[in-house]
Structure 1
Amino acid sequence: MELGMEAVEDDICILKHETAYGGAGESPVSVCAGDESVASHFALVTAYEDIKKRLRDTERENTLLRKRVKQLEDKLFRPEAPSPEGPQYVNKAFSAYRGIYMEKEDLQLELNKLKREKSESERLLNEQLQAKEMELLQLKTEMETSQVMKSLTSTQDYWQVDRINSELKIHTLQEELERMTLEKHRLQEHCEDSSGTNCDQNHVESNPSDKAVLQSYEALATEISSLHSVLKQQSDLMKKLGDKPQLAANRRASPNPTHYPGALGLYSTSPVLLPPPPLNQASLDDSSWSFPSPPKPSDALFWEGQRQGLSQGSPIHSSRGSTPISPNGDWAKPPPY
Structure 2
Amino acid sequence: MIYSQILGTGGYLPERVMPNSELEQWVETSDVWIRERTGIESRHIAADDESCSDLALNAAQQALAASGISAEDVDLIILATSTPDQVFPSTATRLQQRLGVPAGTIAFDVSAACSGFIYALDIANRFIQTKGAKTALVIGAEIFSRILNWEDRGTCILFGDGAGAVVLGAADQPGIISTQLHADGRQESLLNVPWGVSQGYEALQGVHGKVTMKGNEVFKVAVRTLGQLVTDTLQTNGMENSDIDWLIPHQANIRIMEATAKKLNLPMERVVSTVATHGNTSAASIPLALNVAVRDGRIKRNDVLLLEAFGAGFTWGSALIRY
TM-score (norm 1): 0.20
Structure richer in helix, relative to its length: 1
- Structure with bigger gyration radius: 1
Q: TM-score, normalised by structure 2?
A: 0.21
Query: As a proportion of its length, which structure holds more strand?
Result: 2
